Amino acid sequence: MEQLDQDFADEILVKAVCMLALSRFELANALRQCSISIGTTPIGTMPDDCPDWYITLTIPKDAFDHIFFGTYRARKAFEYLAFTEVANLVDFNVVDSPKSIQTVPKADLDQTKVLRSQQQDFIERLNQSPPSLLRCATVGRHSESIIISTESTKHLRDFCWEMSGKFRGSQPKEIFISTMKGKLGEEALVNLLGDYVTGVDYELKLGGDGKVDFKLTSAPDVGIQVKARNGSADNISWWIDLEEIESNSVLVCFLIQEEVTEAQSEYHLVSAGFIPTANIDKSQLTDFQGKKKAALKMSELLYMGGLKSYLEFLEEKKSSESKPEAGNLSSTSFDSDQVWEKVVECLKPPGTQMLMRQCARLLSFNGKEAKIGFCNPPLFPIALEKVPNIEAAFLETCEHKVMVSLEVVAPLPKPPT
């Protein structure tokens, strides 16, 4: 096994930090304190000439909990980065280091900077001849190029003709094409997100769709507006009106590469990008066709690869907003035995979990502070060192920070035999 150049490995770590900053800020901030090494198989030793990566993160003590509990998210970020370098991530390890280590250069953790940089790279690849785009046929996975097949377009055509018949007196061909563009975009979004969002709505509604095309399955108050247009990537714009901006959290845009007609049997769509509607400057809206609208070019959008992470961020935000604050909860709001059992299940590493399961019990908990009784005095100094681990387990269980204190208590009497 060979080691990749350290400067290159550090660059990969910085990219991972930027990717995770959008939705996992604490995890990203902890990654900045780590060092990284990447082992690889030499090119030519694998049948497909695609090298394997073996990544090891060395974690300082004060960042261990954030990395340990975010290992899955971190691994997914590094898997994607390996993919962009035409490599396979086959092993990902985190190593706890009590010693002070040199940190990688601090990255700018602006939540959109990395996605704008990736969007620029994407546009350059799109404008190549032929375009160089990533394509994944698996539903629910990111793909820059999406194919809507003949089987799907037949169903789409039938619906679009029904829509044309609904608006009698209008131009049926124009209604057909407009509806087809919208539904192609909606089918493309479902291809990217799968059942993470509600399905494409094929119900004929007299009052329209309420300006919301999709909602998150687990957070119905997060609306998604989809726009699909055909044209040149250099000068195309996607329009969104004020009502759509105010009714949705995200605008998602697709570029249709073929001319939309009644006879076209297959379409190729490009994932043009997305933008949070909160980022659209309402003061810059212009009057267009009797409505105040914003026109967005591809260069103003964010790279579509960050869409799922941003939606997960919105989902978690909505979930936390729907829960009462810890300070407003009384001690009677908790089943202490259930809380402690869940906390113990979340404890890491296994040795700490075993120690607390055998020697500790929850004495009191008011939502913000937890008092733990420890019944093995000789091991009490070791237990005190595990307070950060216990607080991390409370954070995972309660989804907010809990202050933990330990005290020595007498063992519980054994039940009579």
The confidence score (pLDDT) of residue 121 equals 92
- Rounded mean pLDDT, 379-385: 88
Task: Determine what percent of the chain is predicted with pLDDT higher than 70.
Answer: 83
Distance of alpha carbon 355 from alpha carbon 335, whole angstroms = 22
The confidence score (pLDDT) of residue 398 equals 82
Q: Look up tokens 């919301």; give the residue.
A: 212
The confidence score (pLDDT) of residue 66 equals 58
The confidence score (pLDDT) of residue 331 equals 38
Q: CA of 8: how far to CAs of 3, 13, 56, 87, 181, in Å?
A: 10, 9, 14, 14, 43
Task: Determine what percent of the chain is predicted with pLDDT higher than 90.
Answer: 30
The confidence score (pLDDT) of residue 52 equals 87
16-25, 67-76, 202-211, 408-417: least confident range? 202-211
Q: How confident is the model at residue 22 (pLDDT cuts 50, 70, 90)?
A: low
pTM: 0.55
Closest CA to 198 of 177, 228, 221: 221
Q: 8, exposed or middle or buried, with CB in 10 Å at 0-12, 13-18, 19+? A: exposed
The confidence score (pLDDT) of residue 335 equals 62
Backbone angles phi, psi at 182, to 5 degrees: -60, -45
Question: What is the CATH code of the structural domain delimited by 2-110?
Answer: 3.30.300
CATH top-level class for 327-408? alpha beta
The confidence score (pLDDT) of residue 99 equals 45
CB 194 within 8 A of CB 217: no
Q: CA of 351: how far to CAs of 176, 257, 307, 403, in Å?
A: 65, 57, 38, 22
The confidence score (pLDDT) of residue 209 equals 58
Q: Residue 33 corresponds to which amino acid?
A: Q
- Rounded mean pLDDT, 184-189: 94
Checking if the pLDDT of 332 tops 60, the result is no
CB 371 within 8 A of CB 339: no
Distance of alpha carbon 278 from alpha carbon 248, whole angstroms = 9
264-273, 370-379, 405-414: least confident range? 405-414
342-346, 382-386, 412-416: least confident range? 412-416
The confidence score (pLDDT) of residue 62 equals 65
The confidence score (pLDDT) of residue 309 equals 86
Checking if the pLDDT of 416 tops 90, the result is no
pLDDT digits (tens, 9 = 90+) for 250-280: 999 999 999 998 888 899 999 999 999 988 9
Q: How confident is the model at residue 170 (pLDDT cuts 50, 70, 90)?
A: low
Mean of per-residue pLDDT scores for the chain: 82
Checking if the pLDDT of 300 tops 90, the result is yes
- Rounded mean pLDDT, 392-404: 86
Q: How confident is the model at residue 192 (pLDDT cuts 50, 70, 90)?
A: very high
More confident residue, 169 or 121: 121
Residue ranges, comma separated, of all CATH 3.30.300.180 domains in the chain are: 327-408
Angle of helix 336-346 relative to helix 387-398, nearest 10 degrees, comes to: 110
pLDDT digits (tens, 9 = 90+) for 134-153: 999 899 999 999 999 867 77
The confidence score (pLDDT) of residue 257 equals 93
More confident residue, 113 or 412: 113
pLDDT digits (tens, 9 = 90+) for 79-120: 888 888 888 888 888 777 654 333 333 333 456 778 888 899
The confidence score (pLDDT) of residue 109 equals 40
More confident residue, 409 or 22: 409
